[in-house]
Amino acid sequence: MARGSYIAAAIIVAMFAVALVVLASAVVRLENYRDANFVGFCTQFDIKNPAQRIEREKCLNATQTRTHWFWHLLYGVGLL
Average pLDDT, the chain: 93
pTM across the whole model: 0.80
HSE (side-chain half, CA atoms, 13 Å) at 72 = 21
CA dist., res. 75 & res. 41, Å (int): 18
* Domain extent for 35: 25-80
Number of domains in the chain: 1
- The answer to whether residue 51 sits within a structural domain is yes
- The answer to whether residue 3 sits within a structural domain is no
Give pLDDT, residue 2.
Answer: 76
CA dist., res. 1 & res. 23, Å (int): 32
